[in-house]
Amino acid sequence: MSCENMSNLHFGTTARLAPPPMSMGSLPNTVRITAMRLQDQLDALRDKCYENTPPHIRRVRQEAIDDLVSSGIAERAIHAGDYAPEFRLRDPDGKTISSYAVLNSGPVLIVFYRGGWCPYCKLDLRAIQVVARQLRTSGASIIAVSQQSANESRSTERMNGLSFPNLVDRGGKVARAFGLRWKLSRELRAAEIECGLDLAAVNGESSWTLTMPARYVISPEGIVEYADISADYTRRCDPTELLPVLSQIRARLAH
């Protein structure tokens, strides 16, 4: 399948999902970053987490994914061919980074993720880090964005060995502009609190909203060339899919 100017949508079809947030800070011992495809790693993680998660928590989380899929939010989000919203966000040290300024240097890969407490997101971020040099060689800058507080974002950056900026999207304003922000139901909120995840504390604000995981490759003209949006947060495309997209942009800019 060609990746150029392409949008991927991941919809939840599996009944086995979700890790207990109480496992934040480390991945299960049976899951390691290897040469495996990213989705194979995510599937192994999902199976392990399924075994260790109480049935009522699994049910609530699966219903949340099903509701997110049926809501059509992924289809309404920014997709390939759209203009990307411009934004200015700060990194954990308070430095402001402008998407406009980054795009002046070439294409950019934006990685939206739920938070460092999510082991699926940690695998995704680490997989991006593995190919970071190749992505930069292809001319791309890399930016990660989450609704976490500055302290949590700094911790995620350090614990996962990230070499790219990890920006703070307080309240999910940029995620909303991309069509990725959604609000947790009361039942899901109660389930996550039961498992030790207090989003109000982690994000430093009380909206109890989350960002759907997504990756966007944006050309210097501000046009989305590639979009990978995961309504089911246990599913992601492999980062190697980004390389031919960037190669195409580089070839086009060379003419």
CA trace torsion 81, 223, 71, 1 (10° rounding): 50
- Specify the pLDDT at position 254: 85
Token pair in block for residue 23: 């496992």
**What kind and span of H or E run contains 186?**
helix 186-194
- Specify the pLDDT at position 60: 97
CA distances from 72 to 11, 69, 150, 153, 155 (A): 10, 6, 31, 29, 33
- Specify the pLDDT at position 255: 78
Per-residue pLDDT of the chain (255 residues; tens, 9 = 90+): 233 345 555 553 222 222 333 333 344 433 334 457 999 999 999 999 999 999 999 999 999 999 999 999 999 999 999 999 999 999 999 999 999 999 999 999 999 999 999 999 999 999 999 999 999 999 999 999 999 999 999 999 999 999 999 999 999 999 999 999 999 999 999 999 999 999 999 999 999 999 999 999 999 999 999 999 999 999 999 999 999 999 999 999 887
Q: How many residues does the chain have?
A: 255
Residues 6+ apart with CB under 8 A from 155: 116
CB-hemisphere CA count at 13 Å for 236?
33
The domain locations on the chain are 6-254
CATH 2.40.50.100 matches 6-254 = no
- Specify the pLDDT at position 7: 55
For strands 166-168 and 141-146, give the pairing: parallel
pTM summary value: 0.86
Phi first, then psi, for residue 88 (nearest 5°) are: -130, 120
- Specify the pLDDT at position 9: 59
Residue 18's region, left for phi above 0, alpha for psi from -120 to 50, else beta, is: left
